[in-house]
Amino acid sequence: MEELAGTNGSLESRSLELSSHVNNLQLLLKDETLVSLLRRSFETKFETLKDMDLLLEDIKDHFVKMESETQQSYPVTEVILKLCSQIYCL
């Protein structure tokens, strides 16, 4: 019987603890500053990804231009172009 009472008490304390966590989460969600900070953080990360995409596009364009200018002079350029296109497609 004592074991059962101990288990029951343990379940009650876990239930209270979970309830407390849920209440804390609800308070955090109601806090507009937290939501605002998260939104700004994600916007910054998306802008960084867009910038990286533009940079990769510029690099690719540069290599395409180089390849057209030096097609016969440097056969290695073709290999570099293939590698860049594979990386960019990922």
pLDDT digits (tens, 9 = 90+) for 27-55: 887 888 888 888 899 999 999 999 999 99
Does residue 15 fall inside a structural domain?
Answer: no
Name the residue with higher pLDDT: 49 or 11: 49
Number of domains present in the structure of the chain: 1
Mean pLDDT over all residues of the chain?
A: 79
Cα angle 15-17-21, degrees, rounded to a multiple of 5: 115
Give the structural domain span for 71.
Answer: 45-90
Calculate mean pLDDT across residues 21-27.
89
Q: What DSSP string runs through 12-52? A: HHHHHHHHHHHHHHHHHHH-HHHHHHHHHHHHHHHHHHHHH
Question: Does the residue 13 lie in any domain?
Answer: no
Cα dihedral 65, 66, 69, 72 sign: negative
Higher pLDDT residue, 78 or 20? Answer: 20
Sign of CA dihedral 80, 82, 85, 90: negative
Residue 36 in any domain: the answer is no
82 within 8 A of 63, measured Cβ to Cβ: no
pLDDT score for 12: 83
Query: Greater confidence, 13 or 76?
Result: 13
Mean pLDDT of 8-14: 77
